[in-house]
Amino acid sequence: MQAPDILAENQIAMEQKAPMLRDGALNGLVVVITGGGTGLGRSMAEQCLRLGARVAITSRKQESLDKATTEMATLGEVMSVACDVREADQVDAMRDAVLARWGRIDALVNNAAGNFISPTERLSPKAFRTIIDIVLIGTVNCSLSFGKHWIAKGEKDKCMLNVVTTYAWTGSGYVVPSACAKAGVLALTRSLAAEWGRLGIRTNAVAPGPFPTKGAWSRLLPGELVEKFDMRKKVPLGRLGEHHELADLVTYLLSPYSAYVNGEVVTIDGGEWLKGAGQFNLLEQIEPGMWDAIELLVRGTKGS
Ligand code: HXC
Ligand code: NAP
């Protein structure tokens, strides 16, 4: 049973690694993380708490939010608000609940997502729209709500961080709604960085490769697919991402240390997408002992 083992290993890795940034690096900041009760969002939330931020997590299911906040309470000040990011009025209410509790918001992480694998011709219009609504419209709703608040108040030194993935620019079959939505989020990231930078709002993105989470693995590699399509084989570094590695990158991008980083998308995938892109990278399948014979063949070719 490979998937549960990988998930357990990552949880241990998260617990054992101290944050990269110094203690208190996020002191005084209030960070809102959508989808912050599970998976990667939760790992980001925990690292923000360890570094001194107050953290609000939000998603649709109050029950899983309650469980997460209870478990995270030992790390710092954490609150949760149930909110479906597809609904603009719910997003405004979520923002106002955080402001009512802490009086300020410094950073928004647009991490919530929905996804599943499917041949595109099997998708109904509603299935396609569901993913676009969660990923792209959800990110738009949160960005508009928080951005308008900061701009109206004239508040500076704010930041938004969007979670995309590498198929935002390569595209990918079998997850086409997600690829379209993430591409839109990437365009939003770069566009707002240019437009809102002068207003004191930085906008960046991270593009993770494969990081095991229950949410992603159950929808992208269900059942035996997890063994049939071992994601580690696609990664030049030969392994999956560890949650603390992404959490360190995210906390850096939320911190004042990255104050001059704006409009950037930082890939953290062990080289996965480049390996898929390079036309001859498949030649790694050639046995090393074959290269002498191949070199002779190539050198023996004269003229056209
Ligand atoms: C085809 C499907 C389907 C499937 C749902 N639908 N699952 N169609 N194949 N496997 C269709 C439904 O039939 C329906 O259309 C429409 O989609 C909406 O389905 P609902 O179940 O009503 O939607 P909802 O309850 O809003 O749930 C959304 C969800 C669900 C996306 C379907 O899986 C979810 O809640 N996901 C949240 C968490 C998640 O997905 N995490 C993974 C993120 S991983 P019809 O027309 O039939 O009514 C990720 C990784 C990126 O993003 C990169 C990795 C490298
Ligand atoms: P996950 O645990 O399933 O996270 C998705 C989160 O989004 C859940 O907490 C879910 O909570 C929330 N959510 C879904 N629909 C929502 C809605 N309408 N409103 C509010 N919240 C909603 O999966 P994950 O792997 O950690 O993914 C986190 C992010 O990383 C996503 O943006 C994903 O695309 C990205 N990513 C993941 C990987 C990977 O390998 N894991 C790779 C690249 C990018 P509720 O169900 O309670 O709403």
**Cβ of 213 less than 6 Å from ligand 2:** yes
**Cβ of 34 less than 6 Å from ligand 1:** no
**Cβ of 64 less than 6 Å from ligand 1:** no
CA gap 81, 106 in Å, rounded: 17
pLDDT at 14: 60
Domain that holds residue 40: 3-300
Q: Which of 92, 104, 206, 101 is nearest to 156 (CA)?
A: 104
Q: How far is the CA of 85 from the centre of ligand 1 (A)?
A: 15
CA gap 55, 80 in Å, rounded: 8
The pLDDT > 90 percentage for the chain reads 93
| pTM for the whole structure | 0.96
The DSSP code sequence of 37-56 is: TSHHHHHHHHHHHHTT-EEE
**Cβ of 37 less than 6 Å from ligand 2:** yes
pLDDT at 303: 82
Tally helices (H) and strands (E) across the chain.
Answer: 13, 7
Q: How far is the CA of 112 from the centre of ligand 2 (A)?
A: 4
Confidence of residue 207 (pLDDT cuts 50, 70, 90): very high
CATH code at position 256: 3.40.50.720
Confidence of residue 1 (pLDDT cuts 50, 70, 90): very low
Atom 18, ligand 1: residue with shortest CA distance: 127
Please tell me the number of the ligand nearest to residue 124's CA: 1
Domain count, the chain: 1
Active site residues: 167
Give the model confidence (pLDDT) of 139-162 as tens digits. 999 999 999 999 999 999 999 999
Q: How far is the CA of 113 from the centre of ligand 1 (A)?
A: 10
CA of 115, closest atom in ligand 2 = 34
Give the model confidence (pLDDT) of 24-36 as tens digits. 999 999 999 999 9
Q: How far is the CA of 129 from the centre of ligand 1 (A)?
A: 10
CA gap 186, 168 in Å, rounded: 7
- Order of strands across the sheet with 107-110? 78-82, 54-59, 30-34, 107-110, 158-163, 201-208, 265-268
